[in-house]
Amino acid sequence: MTLHELTAEATEIRKALLTMIYHAKAGHIGGALSSADLITALYFSVLNIDPSNPTWEERDYFVLSKGHSVEPYLVALARRGFFPIEELSTFYRFGSRLIGHPNNQVPGVEMNTGALGHGLSIAVGMAIGLKKSKRKNRVFALMGDGELAEGSIWEAAMAASHYRLDNLIAIIDRNHLQISGSTEDVMTLEPLKDRWESFGWQVREIDGNDMQQIVQTLKSAPFAPDRPSLIIAHTIKGKGVSAMENIALWHHGVPDKTLYETAMNTFDQLQKELNNE
Partner 1 sequence: MSELRSCREAYTETLRELATENPDIIVLSSDARGSCTLNGYVDALPEQYVEIGIAEQNLIGVSAGLAAVGKKPYVCAPACFLTARSLEQIKIDVAYSHQNVKILGVSGGISYGALGASHHTLHDIAALRAIPDIMVIIPCDAVQTQAVLRAVSSMEGAAYIRVGRDKIPAVYADRPEVEPFTLGKATVLREGRDVTLAACGELVHYALEACNLLAERGIEARLLDMASLKPFDADAIIKAAKETRAIVTIEEHSINGGLGATVSQIVCAHHPTRVRTLALPDEFLVTGTSLELFAHYGLDATGIAASTADLLTFLE
Residues in contact with partner 1 by the rule CB under 8 A: 61, 63, 104, 110-115, 117-118, 120-130, 132-133, 135, 137, 151-152, 155-156, 158-159, 162
Per the CB < 8 A criterion, the answer to whether 28 and 252 are in contact is: yes
Q: Is 151 helix (H, G, I), strand (E, B) or coil?
A: helix
- Nearer residue to partner 1 within complex by CB, 44 or 82: 82
Between 100 and 253, CB nearer to partner 1: 100
- How far is Cα of residue 224 from the mean position of the Cα atoms in its chain? 23
Whichever of 21 and 165 has its CB closer to partner 1, that residue is 165
| Shortest Å distance, C-beta 92 to partner 1 | 18
Q: What's the longest Cα–Cα distance across the chain?
A: 54
Nearest to 193 by CA among 179, 205, 184, 211: 205
Quick one: 36 or 156, whose CB is closer to partner 1?
A: 156
Closest approach, Cβ 16 to partner 1, in A, equals 26
Min CB(230)–partner 1 separation in Å? 17
Q: Which of residues 127 and 211 has its CB atom nearest to partner 1 in the complex?
A: 127
**Minimum distance between the CB of residue 130 and partner 1, rounded to whole angstroms?**
5
Q: What is the SS3 string spanning 178-246?
A: ECCEEHHHHCCCCCHHHHHHHCCCEEEEEECCCHHHHHHHHHCCCCCCCCCEEEEEECCCCCCCCCCCC
Beta-bridge partner residues of 207: 234
* Least distance (Å) between residue 156 CB and partner 1: 5
